[in-house]
Amino acid sequence: MPEKSSFAETAAVAKAAAVGQAGDKANGDVGAEGARGDAALPAPLGEDGRRKAVEAYRQPYVIPDTFPEKSQVHAAIPAHCFERSLWKSMSYAALSVFLTVAFPILAWKVLPVPSWSNPLSVLAWAVFAFWQGTIATGCWVVAHECGHRAFCDSNLIQDAVGFVLHSALLVPYFSWQRSHAVHHSRTNHMSQGETHVPAGATTKEGAAQMNLERWIGEDAFAIVNLFNHLVLGWPMYLMTGATGSPERGFSNHFVPTNGKLFPDSWKWKVLLSDVGILVTLALLFKWAQVAGTPQVLVLYAFPYLFTNMWLVLYTWLQHTDVDVPHYEDKNWTWIKGAFMTVDRPYPEPFDFLHHRIGSTHVAHHLFSTIPHYHAREATEAVKQAFPEHYLYDPTPIVPALWRVAAKCVATVPEGNRQYYTYVNGHGKAE
């Protein structure tokens, strides 16, 4: 990669050392070019190691060697699950928008005046920020469905709805629609995946991750990993392609210079997405002029951080765990990647507010045009028809997130798959 400016260098370091994904090489093959510095190639966890990591909540997954055809999966799902209703979709969108707008209006009327010197005020607005960001994530998910063509039969309507909602959340709608489509087309592919692509332990990034955990210990590594993912992860991905494909390299969702991710036919859409972002920024600036910066910070900026947190938390946990494999190109197929998606038990009211995006994501990856209000029925059909392929993790979300942050460090080959491994507190490979 050519030499970059100081900002880009900072971004590249954050991409490698912070989010810890997508190594320089497309694979993690064991060889002389492997781990740098003092990092020896870690041993695979194996079945016993994976069992040890997850046994407090479940048995490790046993991934089949054979997978059904997509047509077989389609046939197992009731036909009406694929039907999209504009009225239903609009009603859910309206609910999310109403809650997102009404809650801060109410909060501004009843909560104490924002003041850093008032502990009660700080606590009250911190709690508000969490819940407002949580509620706004519902709008994010609606726009996500629009980008997948799961909202209604009209592309014009769903692009209009998705563009407005994502732009309001500073998301470049069309740019992300494109990169997210690539994610769906190459899920859990070691070199061509998009977002949360793991680093092979024999790559520079993978070796750096293993060395960092060995140096600071598992718990500290998990804390750093959580901060880098949940706070820095989303803006770093948009600006640098952090956790994206090692084959596509550096990318920017606002400047369509990466032709591998944004072909010529998409460049005008990327620029249109930028217009949406600029309009939102202009409105925020005007709001600050009229009502004051503190109001914009507490009602928009701080909640925005929690919306970003939810987004990354979902995408991270949907395809990552110690016993969820990734595949090299020669062993990867689309149906394998789609089934390497994990449904998790998100509690209420989060699951409702977020339109079941985390508890029905397997069905979504198999058929992304299924609207969320049919996703639970589709999920049950997939679970019953393909119980050996369907992945569900009953681990509560907080322990699951900690396990992934602490133990999903870099991948090593086991047979025709790549599994995560990690370093324990004594500096030895598990």
Instruction: Determine the average pLDDT of the residues in 243-263.
Output: 92
**Confidence category of residue 45, pLDDT binned at 50, 70, 90:** confident
pTM score, whole prediction: 0.88
Q: Kindly state the percentage of the chain with pLDDT values over 70.
A: 89
Residue 37: pLDDT band (50, 70, 90) is very low
Q: Which tens digits make up the pLDDT trace of 197-207?
A: 999 998 999 99
Residue 397 located in a structural domain: yes
Q: Would you place residue 7 in the very low, low, confident or very high pLDDT band (cuts 50, 70, 90)? A: very low
Mean pLDDT lowest among 172-181, 346-355, 417-426: 417-426
Do the domain assignments include residue 136? yes
User: Mean pLDDT throughout 231-260?
Assistant: 94
pLDDT band at 424 (very low <50, low <70, confident <90, very high): low
pLDDT over 50 at 16, yes or no: no
Over range 172-196, report the average pLDDT: 97
pLDDT digits (tens, 9 = 90+) for 363-413: 999 999 999 999 999 999 999 999 999 999 999 999 999 999 999 999 999
For the chain, state the CA radius of gyration: 21
Q: Which residue has the higher pLDDT, 97 or 29?
A: 97
Beta-bridge partner residues of 410: 421
Residue 147 pLDDT: 98
pLDDT tens for 284-313 read: 999 999 999 999 999 999 999 999 999 999
What crossing angle do the helices spanning 302-319 and 397-407 adopt, rounded to 10°? 70
In a domain, 430, yes or no: no
Which pLDDT band, with edges at 50, 70 and 90, does 428 fall under? Answer: very low
pLDDT given at position 41: 63
Q: How much of the chain, in percent, has pLDDT values that exceed 90?
A: 85
**Residue of 352 and 48 predicted with greater confidence:** 352
Torsion of CA 343, 344, 345, 348, to 10 degrees: -90
In a domain, 1, yes or no: no
Rounded to the nearest integer, the mean pLDDT of the chain is 90
> Is 199 inside any structural domain?
yes
Is the pLDDT at 141 greater than 70? The verdict is yes
Does the pLDDT at position 10 exceed 60?
Answer: no
Residue 428 located in a structural domain: no
Q: Give the total number of structural domains in the chain.
A: 1
Domain hosting 277: range is 6-421
Of residues 21 and 155, more confidently modeled: 155
Q: Which residue has the higher pLDDT, 190 or 2?
A: 190
Statement: residue 31 has pLDDT above 90: no
